[in-house]
Amino acid sequence: MNVVSEQTFWGPDFDALEQQDPEIAGVVLDELDRLRGGLQLIASENLTSPAVLAALGSTLSNKYAEGYPARRYYGGCHVVDRAEEIGIARAKELFGAEHANLQPHSGASANLAAYAAFAKPGDTVLAMDLKQGGHLTHGSKVNFSGLWFNPVSYTVRKDSELIDYDQVRDLARQHRPKIIIAGATAYPRLIDFAAFREIADEVGAKLMVDAAHFIGLVAGKAIPSPVPYADVVTATTHKVLRGPRGGMVLCRAEHAKAIDKAVFPFSQGGPLMHAVAAKAVALREAASAEYQAYADQVIANAQALAKSLETEGMRAVSGGTDTHLTLLDLRPVGVTGGEAEARCDAARITLNKNSIPYDPAPPMKPSGIRIGSPSVTTQGMVESDMAEIGCLLSRAVKAAQGTPAGDAELREVASAVSALVARAPAYPRG
Ligand SMILES: Cc1ncc(COP(=O)(O)O)c(C=O)c1O
């Protein structure tokens, strides 16, 4: 839990912000109020520790450090070098990786670097269909991955809603991709990395695991690691892992040079050294016994919440979850994903509408929602709290917003949410 005293959390710098720019200081405080006053169920969000926030708010932000430790294009980098070296060592140790790069500004930047290391424009990349849980960087036509590369998509099976490994193999044999990507943005189940490795070897493709969502569970040893199987693992540092917003690449030693060159100078300029330092802080936190217990609890909470919502009549895609996230099909309760998102918003429950596999509805009006347990777990909530959240979420989803009775119901749910989060607040006052 992130217990902080107002004094140490904000320190004199926040006083300076309040004095010099009350408008932006107001935004910061209002956002803190929003986090404290409601339930954050966005699967890709979390509540970073005061130590991570301190590194992010430090003067390391000032330093230009193009290049890598001891090989910089600027003077005066000997101090920030230490942050990057410590962070790289921690990442390698935590994940058992031969090489780590902490400079990607985001998960999308990490993915761009992996593409650049292993493929040329026009090459074929095999990845999960966006409509079934793949990410924009896995071949969307509005993204570099779909514009500069030739994406081929695999899907989940209609019956089980699990990845169709036979189809992945067939498509790989047919299209001979340069890269095969395993990993998604809305897939609740474990991925069979050994199966992907076998398919990649058969067709001579590089295996890239986009672990953006679940790397934090791997860090906590709560699910199997892709590192032994993948040529390259890309990740974000701000989801379950609970670090600063940013990206990371782990790879085999043989690919280290190609990956480093693909991050800088190919796709980025100067690294954000405050973010690199904050990643190092988060990686240290992730090596603790407390973090491992948190990672196990994230999954236990996601499973308890999924079960509670199934009891309320919603359908968990693929029958449940092995991870931190659940996709819910709302057709059985006659509500669209958009309606559910708006109603939950009014009840101080933050989540997002999401397409479900083979969704008959268009992407802007999808049939489902995606929910995740990282933030509420960081707040210290456990399975019994999930049962309560499931009940409140269901009441909100089913409330006829815009009618007097529905709006009254949403107000009631909002006050029940306030009472619930008061017992386990985000960023509790010290
Ligand atoms: C699977 C996957 N890859 C990459 C990304 C991109 O991360 P970022 O938003 O940091 O660019 C995301 C973000 O949600 C993701 O889910």
Nearest ligand 1 atom to the CA of 138 is: 3
Residue 180 alpha carbon to ligand 1 centre in Å: 17
Nearest alpha carbon to residue 401 among 351, 346, 354, 348? 346
Residue 230 alpha carbon to ligand 1 centre in Å: 18
Does residue 171 have a known ligand-binding role? no
Does the active-site annotation cover 385?
A: no
In the numeric block, which tokens belong to residue 304? Answer: 């308890």
DSSP class of 255: G
- Residue 376: what pLDDT? 98
Question: What is the full DSSP assignment across 275-342?
Answer: HHHHHHHHHHHHTSHHHHHHHHHHHHHHHHHHHHHHHTT-EEGGGS-SSSEEEEE-GGGT--HHHHHH
Cα(293)–Cα(222) distance, rounded to whole angstroms? 9
The CATH 3.40.640.10 portion of the chain extends over: 59-286
Does the active-site annotation cover 236?
A: yes
Residue 164 alpha carbon to ligand 1 centre in Å: 22
Q: Which residue among 130, 234, 236, 352 is best mutated to probe the pocket of ligand 1, counting the most ligand atoms within 8 A of its Cβ? A: 236
Element (H, E) at 279: helix 273-286
Q: Which residue's CA is the closest to the ligand 1 atom numbered 6?
A: 107
In the numeric block, which tokens belong to residue 217? Answer: 């569970």
Cα(208)–Cα(220) distance, rounded to whole angstroms? 21
Nearest ligand 1 atom to the CA of 186 is: 16
* Ligand 1 proximal residues by C-beta, below 6 Å: 44, 106-108, 111, 135, 137, 183-185, 210, 212-213, 236, 247
Residues 6+ apart with CB under 8 A from 157: 163, 164
Cα(344)–Cα(389) distance, rounded to whole angstroms? 11
In the numeric block, which tokens belong to residue 191? Answer: 């991925």
Question: What is the full DSSP assignment across 61-102?
Answer: GG----EETTEESSSS-HHHHHHHHHHHHHHHHHHT-SEEE-
Dihedral Cα 328, 334, 339, 340, nearest 10 deg: -40
Does the active-site annotation cover 124?
A: no
- Residue 429: what pLDDT? 81
- Residue 273: what pLDDT? 98
Residue 212 alpha carbon to ligand 1 centre in Å: 6
Q: Which candidate in 45, 84, 164, 210 is catalytic?
A: 210
Does residue 162 have a known ligand-binding role? no
- Residue 298: what pLDDT? 98
First vs last Cα of the chain: how many Å apart?
Answer: 12
pLDDT tens series, the chain, 430 aa: 455 444 444 445 788 888 999 999 999 999 999 999 999 999 999 999 999 999 999 999 999 999 999 999 999 999 999 999 999 999 999 999 999 999 999 999 999 999 999 999 999 999 999 999 999 999 999 999 999 999 999 999 999 999 999 999 999 999 999 999 999 999 999 999 999 999 999 999 999 999 999 999 999 999 999 999 999 999 999 999 999 999 999 999 999 999 999 999 999 999 999 999 999 999 999 999 999 999 999 999 999 999 999 999 999 999 999 999 999 999 999 999 999 999 999 999 999 999 999 999 998 999 999 999 999 999 999 999 999 999 999 999 999 999 999 999 999 999 999 999 999 999 988 7
Residue 113 alpha carbon to ligand 1 centre in Å: 13
Cis peptide before 265 (omega within 30 of 0): yes
Q: Which candidate in 66, 81, 198, 296 is catalytic?
A: 66
Nearest ligand 1 atom to the CA of 106 is: 10
- Residue 67: what pLDDT? 98
Residue 102 alpha carbon to ligand 1 centre in Å: 15
Does residue 135 have a known ligand-binding role? yes
Cα(176)–Cα(203) distance, rounded to whole angstroms? 6
Q: In terms of C-beta density within 10 A (0-12 exposed, 13-18 middle, 19 or more buried), how is residue 173 classed?
A: exposed
Residue 135 alpha carbon to ligand 1 centre in Å: 7
Residue type present at position 262? A
Q: Which candidate in 18, 36, 64, 131 is catalytic?
A: 64
Question: Does the domain at residues 59-286 carry the CATH identifier 3.40.50.2000?
Answer: no
Q: Which residue among 137, 245, 268 is best mutated to probe the pocket of ligand 1, counting the most ligand atoms within 8 A of its Cβ? A: 137
Q: Which candidate in 90, 239, 315, 343 is catalytic?
A: 239
- Residue 16: what pLDDT? 86
The CATH 3.90.1150.10 portion of the chain extends over: 289-423
Does the active-site annotation cover 307?
A: no
Homologous superfamily of domain range 289-423: Aspartate Aminotransferase, domain 1 (3.90.1150.10)
Q: Which residue among 135, 217, 327 is best mutated to probe the pocket of ligand 1, counting the most ligand atoms within 8 A of its Cβ? A: 135
